Chain A
Amino acid sequence: MPEVRIRKIATAIEEIHHEGGPPAETPLLRGAAMAVIENPFAGRYVEDIQPFMEDLKPLGLDLAKRLLALLGGDPARIEGYGKAALVGAAGELEHGALWHSPGGYAMREVLGGAKAIVPSSKKVGGVGARLDVPVTHVNASYVRSHFDSMEVGLNDAPRANEILVVLVMTTGPRVHNRAGGLAAADIVGEDGLR
């Protein structure tokens, strides 16, 4: 099994006070933790890639823990999450899909039982490409106020033989959310949807 070779780790935090409307009493925090890793399958077609998911688990947990710490360390404060992967040009989209399980379950583990599916995106891109990471509520995917996203990227990654893997968490709804729909206060919380 190939080891996960990490070139870089980066974190980003945005503290959003307002967006032209009334300033929030508590600013919304959006955080991201990401790693630039070597793609062990770059440059050739490999049929059996699933063992790499297992290899990625410790990295997923490390990034999830860093991210939670960045946002203050209290799992109860995390209301939204998402994940994404950006595969360098010598890889294929399918390699990015390997991040689903280790990234998602790591966040659920550190948050102690979030119910909703972790939204995700993936793409192939060059050095400096930007990745829009989708975000939804951690317990009920239909909560409209928490549909959000965070853009991330590094000027020097991913090189052709690399993958950028990302986790994102937020501490609340969009800063001036007023588009209606299911409210976080009305979550039933059984099925991860409503």
Chain B
Amino acid sequence: MSAQIRKIAVWVEETHSEMGRAISPPTRKAVAVAVIANPFAGRYVEDLTPLMDIGAELGGLLGARCVAALGIEPGQAQSYGKAAMVGEAGELEHAAAILHPKLGAPLRIAVEKGAALVPSSKKMGSVGQVLDVPLGHKDAAYVRSHFDGVEVRLNDSPRANEIMVAVAVTDSGRPLARVGGLTHEQAEGKDGLR
């Protein structure tokens, strides 16, 4: 089963200054969202395999949209994250089926490498509700400057029988990171942690 997409939205933000200090080059985040029909809305279905396949499809599609929106080479991506919001006629497990089994592999191809776990969040929500997508360094989860998040919302989504699926990619960490820890430059990126 392939995803029945009603809408795709892409958001890019650049931070040029914070607290009066210039950020140069600006830090940049992209988040791409697909609003899809939930094939299992309104009923209990035991086998969620079709949603897992949809996850694989969207991981590649949304990851590539983010990279294109940032105008970078895949290897220049520094952090990533994923999230899903299920409309009220679905269940939280539908979000889990999309996000966890198969979404990561094609996303990692879209951003090149990606040794680290893709941080995620999921929830049920109604139209216009906020979805916060967590962000972490794509090759070394302990890189402290890259722990972040990006908010996404669409005034008309998700309707009750829909699911909003989001993938976020950045080419940078927080604007004025200064709480120490492992840095992007120090990261080895072999075990996904350091």
Contacts and interface: CB of A to CB of B under 8 A. Distances in A.
Contacts of A5: 17
A145 to B, nearest CB: 18
A18 B13 CA distance: 26
Contacts of B17: 5-7
B151 A155 contact: yes
Interface in A100-157: 130, 151, 154-155
Interface string B4-46: 0111111111111110000000100000000000000000000
B155 interface: yes
A13 B155 CA distance: 13
A74 B63 CA distance: 26
The listed residue with most A CB atoms (<10 A of its CB), out of B13, B16, B130, B155, is B13
Contacts of B177: none
A12 interface: yes
A15 B8 contact: yes
B7 A8 contact: no
A14 B130 CA distance: 16
A188 interface: no
A25 interface: no
A77 to B, nearest CB: 18
Given A14-B154, A16-B6, A130-B155, A7 B16 contact: yes
B166 to A, nearest CB: 13
Nearest to A13: B10
Contacts of B26: 9
Contacts of A15: 7-9
A8 B7 CA distance: 26
A13 B9 contact: yes
Contact of A18 (B6, B12, B16): B6
Contact of B9 (A8, A10, A14, A20): A14
A6 B26 CA distance: 11
Given A130-B155, A151-B155, A10 B13 contact: yes
A9 B13 contact: yes
Contacts of A19: 6, 156
B9 A7 contact: no
Contacts of B6: 16-20
B15 A12 contact: no
A17 B5 contact: yes
Contact of A7 (B18, B130, B154): B18
Contacts of A7: 15-18
A17 B34 CA distance: 11
Given A13-B10, A17-B6, A130-B155, 12 more contacts: A7-B17, A7-B18, A9-B16, A10-B11, A10-B12, A10-B14, A11-B13, A13-B9, A16-B6, A17-B8, A18-B6, A155-B151
23 contacts: A7-B16, A7-B17, A7-B18, A8-B15, A10-B12, A10-B14, A11-B11, A11-B69, A12-B9, A12-B10, A13-B9, A13-B10, A14-B154, A16-B6, A16-B7, A17-B6, A17-B7, A19-B6, A20-B6, A130-B155, A151-B154, A151-B155, A154-B13
